[in-house]
Chains A and B, each alone.
Chain A
Amino acid sequence: EPEVTQTPSHQVTQMGQEVILRCVPISNHLYFYWYRQILGQKVEFLVSFYNNEISEKSEIFDDQFSVERPDGSNFTLKIRSTKLEDSAMYFCASSQQGSTEAFFGQGTRLTVV
């Protein structure tokens, strides 16, 4: 069964460093998403991406964040200068054209020290 894959599963980075979280969505999906879950809290929407551009972003998704689809398979989330409060689980998801059902990856746990 096709699935969304995320790498790495866990990343530790120093405050102020840039990180790139990687995702490989399901191959025939056209819509891509990033979500964040701070420990003990709910999963929050960050950004949606379609046709090589951002469709919608939340207030969390400030100038420190960017997304990119650098090739036909990867979808990345970059945090330019990490802060302690960026420590969270980050989930990637993708969906088909016209579908309300998104498929989630297993997440990347980001720890900023």
Chain B
Amino acid sequence: SQQGEEDPQALSIQEGENATMNCSYKTSINNLQWYRQNSGRGLVHLILIRSNEREKHSGRLRVTLDTSKKSSSLLITASRAADTASYFCATDAWAGGFKTIFGAGTRLFVKA
């Protein structure tokens, strides 16, 4: 299986703190993506990092990728209550087109 697996499964922090979520995967990838999902809602694409990139920033988000360890991390700085959601990492695999393989996600709860 090439699934990305996140840890922790759940994370509870205070508003203003940083939140770090980790993802590991098993086989080689072209890119790795992070998504956010509010409870029962759609997937919001946060950031894509390519296999030849090591770090990428977008606003309060910082993503790192270590292909030698087959791992990635998502850091949300200065968290807000509105960041409360599930966060998924996703890798790609060829399926006659590149299908997206999602991990089980980290449920982040930011307390106001």
Interface size class of B (residues with CB under 8 A): 20 to 34
Interface residues of B: mostly helix, strand, loop or mixed?
Answer: strand
Tell whether A84 is near chain B: CB-to-CB under 8 Å.
no
Of B15-23, B62-70, B75-83, B102-110, the stretch lying at the interface with chain A is B102-110
Tell whether B40 is near chain A: CB-to-CB under 8 Å.
yes
**In the complex the two chains form, is B102's CB within 8 Å of A42's CB?**
yes
Known: A43-B102, A100-B31, A104-B45. A55 touches B97 (CB 8 A): yes
Interface size class of A (residues with CB under 8 A): 20 to 34
Closest A-chain residue to B95, C-beta based?
A: A56
Nearest-Cβ distance from residue B8 to partner chain A, whole angstroms: 15
Nearest-Cβ distance from residue B98 to partner chain A, whole angstroms: 4
Tell whether B43 is near chain A: CB-to-CB under 8 Å.
yes
**In the complex the two chains form, is A100's CB within 8 Å of B40's CB?**
no
Interface residues in chain B, defined as those with a beta carbon under 8 Å from any beta carbon in chain A: 30-31, 33, 40-43, 45, 48, 88, 90, 92, 95-105
